[in-house]
Structures are given as C-alpha cells and as structure tokens.
C-alpha cells in the first residue's frame, strides 16, 4: 500500500477530462491518481468545483530587489496565489539586473523564504553572459530587443546571435521582448495613441523577422500584440504568450497612463485579429506580464508615467470567467495557463499525474464575482480590470500545503525555488 500524507478527492481535470479522482500526495508530490485510494493520514473532499493543476505564470516582474515600493516577493506571490497561480517565473530587469552568477545568487538569497508559491528567476541575455553556469538554476533567459524598464537592452544582431547560440546550447528556452528598438520613436506622448505611434506594430514584426535565423529553436515570444507575429512565431516553431491587456484594451477607448505598457495596446482592428487568433487556440500560453507601479507613479503626466500593468492575480480568474461564458473551452484555459508554461520551462508541474508537484487549484465556475481593485493583494493598489467579472479559486495548494481555503488565505511562505541554488 502506498504511504500517503494526504488524499484530495473530487471532480478533477485529469488527462484532458473531468472525472471523479482521488489524488494521493506524498512529500509534496502527486504519488497516485485513481478512482479510489485507500489510506492517507488526511483526506480532503472537494464538494464543488473542479480540481485543476496549479497555474503557472511564466512572466512576472516582482520588482525585488531595487523597486520594492512597487512590489516584492511577499506581496507578489500573495497576489499570485489568490489568483490560483502556484508558480511564477520572475524577470531579470530588477535593480541590480540579473546578468551574472553573482547577481543571480544575491537575488536567490534575498528571496529565499519570502514566497507563498514556487518560483523561478530568469537571467538576462547580455554579451558574454556565463550561460553555461547559470542555466541549471534558471527557467530560461530573457532577451530585451526593445527598451523598457531597466537597462539590459540587446538589439545588435551579431551580439544576439553569439549570446543566443551559447544559451541554446544549454537546452534552456529564451523568452524575448520582441520589439526592434531601432524602430521605436521618442516623440512626446500625451496618451496611449501617442505611445502606439512611437512603438508601431512593425517594430514587433521586424523583430520576429530578425529572429527567423533561430527557426526551430527554444524561443518564446512574450506579450504578442498582433496576429501576424503570432503566425510568424508559430511557423518558426516558437512558443508564444499573450496578456489579457493586449486581448481586451485598445488606445481609442483606454487612453490614460493606466494602460501604458510595452509593447503598447494596439488599435481595435489589430486587437480583434489577435483575439481571433487566441480564440482559435493559436497562442501557446498566458503570461500576465505583471508589471506593477504605484498609483502615484501612474498618476504622473503620461510622458513621465512608467509602462506596466498589474495582472498576476486577475489573469486566470478572467480566463475562468471566459470558460464560464463558453468563450473558450476549459481544456484551452488549462493548456495555456498550466500545462504549456510548465512544460516549456522544464518543470514537473501543470498536470495532475503521478510524479508531478502537488500544486492544485479548485475553481467553481458557478461562483463568479466582480474584481475589486481595493481587495487585490499587489502593492500596486490599482487594476484596469476593476469591476470585471471573474472566477477566483476556492482552494489553492502548493506542494501539498493548503494556501487558500474557501477563498481565504490561510497559508505560509512555503514557496520554493523550482530551479535550486547555485
């Protein structure tokens, strides 16, 4: 008989279908999934909703270290877990940026014991970075071809070729902010329409053209804003991310600095084609690109206000509301929010199967509510999704430990670095 610490029982999403399952957990891992399991020191019955694998957000900016007035790992992971996210991958454009072994080690040491969910830390693609040494301890590397928060821009083709070649040799995936920096304008901006003028869709498409030399390699294109780049990326064999803000907002209606982000929200025609590609299942995964700034920062005049939108707590609840309304199938939400990001970055997460991490989330799509920005947990204190319908999780478990129960936080800092310590 299996030695089980815990058995979770209920309707579960297992191998593409919902069926009654008993999920055995031992030492933080799923040790058995059957119709009936004997034993277990503790049993949890889930009376309503569906048990899903925990969701993975492959693109967050938790601002830690260096900008912790905007967010830190405690507030960021607390926000994430309330949205059903059990693992995040944090980007390297902090202060200092993660560009070498020392800065990676310092960030790992700082964050240890300060996370409510599991996490991984990206390293930046820079000329001569020691990819081989860092690779085992990061989910991947981030290439910034377009300027944004931080100063780790790399937009020279020869430098990109050399760095990418070294990194891909390690087997790690490279996530790319694909905007050609030479095509980004610097004219004064008064609203999101001006921001769009300065960062045209052609900059994004041209960046993809320049990456075509890496066809078939482990490249992930972040925050796609248009269907053409999605199609190009798919033809090249790259994975793709999409954010909720690029799916739903357009500068004609949403013009204030609240919606200022890089790459920018696109006009209605471009946005609608992106949405159509999403609905047809042509995009690999969700990535919130959670990029919080304080309300005072966002309240500055548009040209001075920083770019970025918070979203780690709202992305999956909005997706689950889309499932509730039959906008997208349940399998697509799980694939984009859990299975694909976990598999793309080499984690034993994202599935309710034996040997996978015991990260689980329970959503009941009969229980929808309206998002209240005041009740979200990011330090940002604001959200462009205030008032939107969403389905938040009833229960969230990380490594077999309950963090959310009956929709309320009851956990502790059990989150671990999914990629270990140098």
Residues 363, 367, 371, 375, CA torsion sign:
negative
Residue pair 119/111 in contact (Cβ under 8 Å)? The answer is yes
Residue pair 238/219 in contact (Cβ under 8 Å)? The answer is yes
Select which of 289, 357, 359, 364 is catalytic.
Answer: 289
**143/126 Cα distance (integer angstroms):** 8
Is 357 a catalytic site residue? Answer: no
Residue pair 57/88 in contact (Cβ under 8 Å)? The answer is yes
Residue pair 195/245 in contact (Cβ under 8 Å)? The answer is no
* Residue numbers annotated as active site: 289
């Amino acid at each position: 008989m299996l030695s089980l610490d815990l058995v979770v029982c209920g309707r579960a999403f297992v191998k593409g279908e919902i069926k009654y399952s008993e999920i055995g957990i031992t030492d933080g891992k799923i040790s058995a999934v059957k119709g009936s399991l004997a034993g277990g020191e503790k049993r949890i019955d889930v009376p309503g909703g569906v048990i899903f694998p925990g969701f993975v957000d492959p693109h967050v900016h938790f601002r830690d270290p260096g900008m912790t007035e905007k967010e830190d790992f405690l507030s960021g992971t607390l926000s994430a877990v309330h949205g059903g996210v059990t693992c995040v991958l944090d980007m390297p454009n902090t202060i200092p940026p993660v560009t070498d072994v020392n800065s990676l080690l310092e960030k790992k040491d700082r964050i240890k014991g300060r996370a409510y969910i599991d996490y991984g830390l990206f390293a930046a693609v820079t000329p001569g970075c020691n990819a081989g040494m860092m690779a085992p301890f990061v989910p991947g590397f981030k290439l910034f071809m377009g300027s944004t928060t931080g100063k780790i821009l790399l937009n020279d083709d020869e430098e990109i070729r050399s760095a990418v070649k070294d990194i891909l040799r390690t087997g790690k995936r490279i996530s790319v902010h694909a905007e050609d920096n030479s095509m980004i304008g610097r004219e004064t901006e008064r609203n999101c329409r001006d921001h769009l003028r300065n960062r045209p869709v052609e900059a994004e498409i041209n960046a993809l053209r320049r990456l075509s030399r890496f066809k078939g390699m482990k490249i992930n294109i972040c925050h796609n804003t248009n269907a053409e780049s999605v199609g190009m990326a798919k033809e090249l064999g790259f994975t793709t991310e999409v954010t909720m803000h690029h799916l739903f907002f357009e500068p004609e209606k949403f013009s204030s600095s609240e919606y200022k982000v890089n790459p920018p929200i696109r006009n209605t025609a471009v946005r609608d084609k992106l949405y159509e590609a999403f609905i047809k299942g042509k995009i690999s995964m969700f990535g919130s690109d959670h990029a919080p700034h304080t309300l005072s920062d966002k309240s500055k005049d548009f040209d001075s206000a920083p770019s970025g939108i918070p979203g780690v707590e709202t992305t999956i609840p909005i997706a689950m509301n889309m499932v509730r309304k039959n906008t997208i199938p349940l399998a697509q939400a799980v694939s984009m929010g859990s299975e694909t990001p976990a598999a793309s970055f080499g984690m034993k997460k994202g599935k309710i199967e034996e040997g996978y991490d015991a990260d689980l989330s329970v959503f009941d799509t009969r229980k929808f509510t309206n998002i209240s920005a005041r009740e979200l947990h990011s330090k940002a204190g604001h959200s462009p999704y205030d008032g939107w319908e969403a389905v938040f999780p009833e229960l969230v478990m990380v490594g077999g430990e309950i963090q959310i129960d009956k929709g309320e936080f009851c956990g502790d800092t059990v989150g671990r670095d999914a990629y270990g310590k140098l």
